[in-house]
Homo-oligomer: A and B are copies of this chain.
């Protein structure tokens, strides 16, 4: 598995989510975005901590309580549980490749409107 391999993206218009591995109960996911964003007014309210790294391209994470955080290539960000956030923007050229590390969930997660 190569983090920069974009073959799974070909022909798709939606984001691509792939579970890579689970280490010590923590799930590591790769997300390939090509300009998508979370619908306006939708916030992720997660029961688990998530740490993200942009390994290619760039993206913007918005928090309900502010501020927006622009992540360039290589930038990382902690998303503490229940800190409501959304992806406000992602690059399309090049595609934005995220690594997302999800801590163990304590309850069901939800995206709320």
A25 within 8 A of B: yes
| Residue in contact with A26 in the complex, picked from B20, B26, B73, B78, CB distance below 8 Å | B26
| Residue in contact with A51 in the complex, picked from B21, B53, B74, CB distance below 8 Å | B21
Kindly list chain B residues whose C-beta atoms are within 8 Å of the C-beta of A89: none
CB contact list, A1-49 vs B, under 8 A: 1-5, 20-21, 23-26, 28, 48-49
Contact (Cβ within 8 A) B25 A24: yes
Count copies of this chain in the complex: 2
What's the least CB distance linking A11 to chain B, in Å?
21
**CA–CA, A78 to B51, complex, Å?**
19
A61 within 8 A of B: no
